[in-house]
Structure 1
Amino acid sequence: MKRICASLLLTAVVLTACSATGVSIPVLEGSLAGERLPGKIIWHELITDTPEQTQRFYTELFGWEFEPLSDKNINYFLIRQNGKAIGGMINQNRLPTKADISQWVALFSVTDIAAATDQVASSGGTVFTPPTSLGDRGKIAVVADPQGALFALLQTANGDPADTTEPASVADFFWHELWTGDIDRAVTFYGKLAPYQMERRSLGTGNESIDYVVMHTQQQKRGGIRANPFKGLPPIWVNYLQIPDDAELDRILAKVESLGGEILVPAASRPSGGTVAMIAGPSGAGIALQTWTNEEQLAKFGEQ
């Protein structure tokens, strides 16, 4: 447990490191003018100790582009898919730590980051870093829920990326799922943090049935909560990329190991349709791949 806590704290330091140098991270693209969507996951950060291999891995698999900020002294890359900025990458090697903290971190929108961090603390969570300025992007705080799942809060300076009725593009983020050891406690915690409407479902049949909670805000599905499916795995927020079909998923999985990655969970069907697999890049940061083929299926996501 002490090792996990130390790793989380180091991750928090990494995510707020830019602020210490007065660096301004660019605003999020597609932002609404001054409007925030609390509870929506609006950004993703990848921390890696193998930046060159990681860039090649994701570029070869998905066609992602990695764009360094214009100031070469800044330890930050924008990640683009088909020209759209979908996340950022931080080179862990340029930071004062030798611990392996490579991972993907989801950033949740909040309207008042000071109040949100107070809520985290009062609800039994952990605030690893207080609200910290990222310049033009806004303010960030790195926190964990009572079970230890790490995530970040972001109060944007100029508004959040707008919701869209268009399906996610291939290899873009389109779902987020909390794997936890206590569903009820997680529902209570996140329900106080943001204006979520929690929809409980029983998914699958017979011995394969699982309890699932879909998190809604602004009439949109934002994420899911389920029991942790793997014994010994710490609670975690899992980020999903959209893959169009099984053939493309097979093509991707066939290349993972040759590019220095690992297949953590082989492809398997979900009760409501679609196929899911989980992979890790060269640094060990895990990410899920989910097949969906059209807008109708995307509208139903969260029912698996």
Structure 2
Amino acid sequence: MAKPRKGKPCWYELSAPDARAAAGFYGHVMGWKVQDAGMPGFDYLLAKAGDNMVAGMMSAPDMPTFWMIYFSVLDCDKAAKAIAKAGGNIHREPTDIPGTGRFAIVTDPQGAVFGILAPADSDAGEAFKPMAAGHGRWHELMTSDPEDALAFYSKQFGWKAGDAMPMGPGMTYQMFRHAKTDIGGMMKQMPGMPGPGTPFWLPYFSTDGVEAAMVRIAEAGGRTLHGPQEVPGGVFIAVNRDPAGALFALVGPK
């Protein structure tokens, strides 16, 4: 049995006012096939891209609408305690999901929310599969203190600093690596940037064509806030808002 890799992105979860409405939107935009998770008394849907489960969607009308990224850990209880000791907070104590593993919802010292998951019997799945359409590809942290955030995540997950790109006066985009592969970037959150105004994680999903996906977003009632923009590597990105207000991004050929 393969062991899960600590710090690997392993799941994407949408908190929305109406999970079934969200399923219709993302099904149209991403081509996801969505099914009920079968949790009595809880409206939770599972999204599939190809043969892989990639995301969950839950109806939570009294909660903020946003995408949360989960990272794999070896021991959920120990990881949650380490996060709290390093200045983060535990928002949901470690809890078992039968057949899936043990998870917790936490924040980093700057307040960005993320999840941790100790998978029950796998290597954390294939939700993060950078070159496959509909799968997670990149993970972007907007934060009030990039240097402190990088030190925090490096300690918790073993991430390493990658290349740093100047983004203008006083701004640097710092990439980070997991298992020698770039998996995301972080930068200082500036006034006027899209988002909740507090530190947050933004997931990027792969698409076969950014411009075509933007058309589908508009058709389904969403909006593109930025893009398409070419980035290093010859790919294009677009930052978008779904009809309920959740931010998500796309990356792929134009």
Bin for the TM-score computed over the shorter chain: 0.7 to 0.9
Please give the secondary structure, in 1, of the residue aligned with 2:24. helix
Q: 1:102 aligns with which of 65, 77, 80?
A: 65
Q: 1 CA distance for matches of 2:109 and 2:95? A: 22
Aligned to 2:164: 201
Structure 2 CA distance for aligned equivalents of residues 185 and 209 of structure 1: 16
Identify the residue that residue 214 of structure 2 maps to in structure 1: 253
User: Does 1:170 pair with 2:133?
Assistant: yes
**Which amino acid in 2 is paired with 1:104?**
W
Alignment of 1:1-304 (within 5 A): 33-70=1-38, 73-93=41-61, 99-161=62-124, 168-203=131-166, 207=168, 210-231=171-192, 233-244=197-208, 248-292=209-253
Asked if the contact 1:53/1:260 (under 8 Å) is kept, the reply is: no
Secondary structure of the corresponding residue to residue 116 of structure 2: strand
The answer as to whether partners of 2:17 and 2:60 remain within 8 angstroms in 1 is yes
Q: Residue 241 of structure 1 contacts residue 290 of structure 1 at CA under 8 Å; is this kept in 2?
A: yes
Change (3 A) 1:135 1:143: same
Gaps spanning 5+ residues in structure 2: where? none
SS at structure 2 position matched to 1:188: helix
Alignment RMSD (CA, Å): 2.5
Distance in 1 between residues matched to 2:178 and 2:30, nearest whole Å: 29
Q: Retained in 1: the 8 A contact 2:104–2:117?
A: yes
Structure 1 CA distance for aligned equivalents of residues 130 and 232 of structure 2: 21
Number of residue pairs the alignment of both structures matches: 250
**Counterpart residue number, 1:22:** none
Query: Is the Cα contact below 8 Å between 1:180 and 1:225 reproduced in 2?
Result: yes
Q: Percent identity?
A: 26
Q: Which amino acid aligns with 1:79?
A: A
| C-alpha distance 189-213 of structure 1, shift in aligned 2 (>3 A) | same
Deviations 1:240-286 (A, max 9, x none): 01123xxx322222232331212222322325532211112222111
CA offsets per residue over residues 54-82 of structure 1, 9 Å max, x none? 12211222211111124554422110112
Closer/same/farther in 2, CA of residues 59 and 269 from structure 1, 3 Å limit: same
Q: Structure 2-normalised TM-score?
A: 0.88
Answer yes or no: is the 8 Å Cα contact 2:172–2:187 preserved in 1.
yes
Query: Which structure has more helix as a fraction of its residues?
Result: 1
- Bigger fraction of residues in strand: 2
* Aligned residue type for 2:49: Q
Listed as ranges, the gaps of 5+ residues in structure 1 are 1-32, 94-98, 294-304
